[in-house]
Amino acid sequence: MPAVDPHTPTQTARHIESTERHSAHNYAPLPVVVSRASGAWVEDVDGHRYLDMLSAYSALNFGHGHPEIVDTFVEQAKRLSLTSRAFHNDQFAPFCETITRFCGMDRVLPMNTGAEAVETAIKTARKWGYKVKGVADGKAEIIVCDGNFHGRTVTIVSFSDDDQYRDGFGPFTPGFKLVPYGDLAAFEAAITPNTVGFLVEPIQGEGGIVVPPEGYLKGCRDLCTKHRVLFMADEIQTGLGRTGRKFACDHEGVKPDVLILGKALGGGMMPVSAVLASDEVMGVFRPGDHGSTFGGNPLACAVASKALEILERDRLPERAARFGERFMDKLRGLTGGYVREVRGRGLLIGIALTPEAGPAKAWCKQLLHEGMLCKDTVESVMRIAPPLVIEEMDLDWAFERIARTLRGKRP
């Protein structure tokens, strides 16, 4: 498929020109304008088809337009979309029962976006530290990891080590300590009596699909228990089947004290996020402490409940494990040349390129012209994360194009 010539008056070019003129330049998307989609395939405004190997950063685990989720969305939207939490609605209790059972937790606090959920988890840990653990007021500390990505609010970028996320946004929120990801000794050395939580991604997504050493999560869990620190797992990207288990923490048999979910929880239809914890931890909240006008709205609750039902019924985590293992085995055959390493779990995969390969974004643009959508991260890694409902024949189709591209001339 030929590249889009910016001087050709295609619909794609017109949309991109208008976007550049009227929107803030806080994103640098690939030059494709998607207009419709189904399953793992999308179509642009000029009629070109592409295989979606990004899944909206894992928000589309169920694929585009899953019929049952769409039906649930439409039927609920016709009946009742929003009440705020000033009143009860008939979808809230069933959702709370469904998600707490699914996650093996006592209570849930629903929000909308992943960043909101992380902020909620931070507030939860701090309040628990003051009200339950007995940390002196204003002294609570949360330990986080180098290379983390938990969102882009001011508080969250306060503990990022990415200069761009912080540039121009200070002053920053105190109360966080950074330690090297995967370094158990460094984590233990950072714990003090004021430590209330350890916030960690079981696999770092934006950090480059970084899988920690075997036993790291279990070791951190044991240290949290020993020192009475909340183990807070950000499973916004890794959760809900993406890595071949319900949650990435399940690979080491780790149960967090605080579980943070988002992205795929909304079934690819709308933003839905949640923080789950025990009675002791979630019990620190009283009416007025925290809230959200849209958090727990009936439309979100109905969609999320249906998404969780499909995830279990259709055994999507097992599908991700099976397809992901085969796909990564094939990708590892490309190691050498421009490919330094292939890593990941399930259908969350990173193709780490050599310095000689140049920027990963150039290769993603090359694949766009082959009819495949993926995205770079940390400049040198191509992120591969297709919908969990993708067919194996489509993965074979994608591999052929990845192999042909990466064995070809540097873009």
Q: Which of 44, 52, 234, 376 is catalytic?
A: 234
- Which single residue is written with the structure tokens 């194009």? 401
> Could you tell me the domains of the chain?
11-65+316-406 (3.90.1150.10), 67-313 (3.40.640.10)
Q: Which of 263, 285, 294, 394 is catalytic?
A: 263
Residue 335's DSSP bridge partners are 339
Phi, psi of 114 (to 5 degrees): -65, -40
CB 349 within 8 A of CB 343: yes
Q: Does the annotation count 169 as an active-site position? A: no
Residue 337's DSSP bridge partners are none
Tokens of 5: 């010539």
Distance, in Å, from the CA atom of 357 to the CA atom of 380, rounded to the nearest integer, reads: 8
pLDDT at 4: 45
Instruction: Say how many Å lie between the first and final Cα of the chain, rounded.
Output: 16
The residues, ordered by sequence, that sit 6+ positions from 343 with a Cβ below 8 Å of its Cβ are: 209, 210, 211, 349, 350, 352
Q: Which of 62, 149, 294, 327 is catalytic?
A: 149
The residues, ordered by sequence, that sit 6+ positions from 163 with a Cβ below 8 Å of its Cβ are: none
CA-based nearest residue to 361, from 334, 380, 385: 380
The residues, ordered by sequence, that sit 6+ positions from 288 with a Cβ below 8 Å of its Cβ are: none
pLDDT at 67: 98
The residues, ordered by sequence, that sit 6+ positions from 175 with a Cβ below 8 Å of its Cβ are: 126, 140, 141, 142
pLDDT at 404: 97
Q: Does the annotation count 161 as an active-site position? A: no
CA R_g for the chain: 21
3-state secondary structure of 128: helix
CB 258 within 8 A of CB 231: yes
> Tens-digit pLDDT profile for the chain (411 aa)?
444 444 455 999 999 999 999 999 999 999 999 999 999 999 999 999 999 999 999 999 999 999 999 999 999 999 999 999 999 999 999 999 999 999 999 999 999 999 999 999 999 999 999 999 999 999 999 999 999 999 999 999 999 999 999 999 999 999 999 999 999 999 999 999 999 999 999 999 999 999 999 999 999 999 999 999 999 999 999 999 999 999 999 999 999 999 999 999 999 999 999 999 999 999 999 999 999 999 999 999 999 999 999 999 999 999 999 999 999 999 999 999 999 999 999 999 999 999 999 999 999 999 999 999 999 999 999 999 999 999 999 999 999 999 999 999 998
CB 267 within 8 A of CB 69: yes
Distance, in Å, from the CA atom of 316 to the CA atom of 268, rounded to the nearest integer, reads: 15
CA-based nearest residue to 57, from 199, 242, 181: 242
3-state secondary structure of 173: coil
Tokens of 19: 């976007």
Q: Does the annotation count 234 as an active-site position? A: yes
pTM reported for the whole predicted model:
0.96
DSSP 240-267: TTTTSSSSGGGGGT---SEEEE-GGGGT
Looking at residue 92, its amino acid is F
Tokens of 7: 């001087």
Residue 233's DSSP bridge partners are 200, 259
Phi, psi of 398 (to 5 degrees): -65, -40
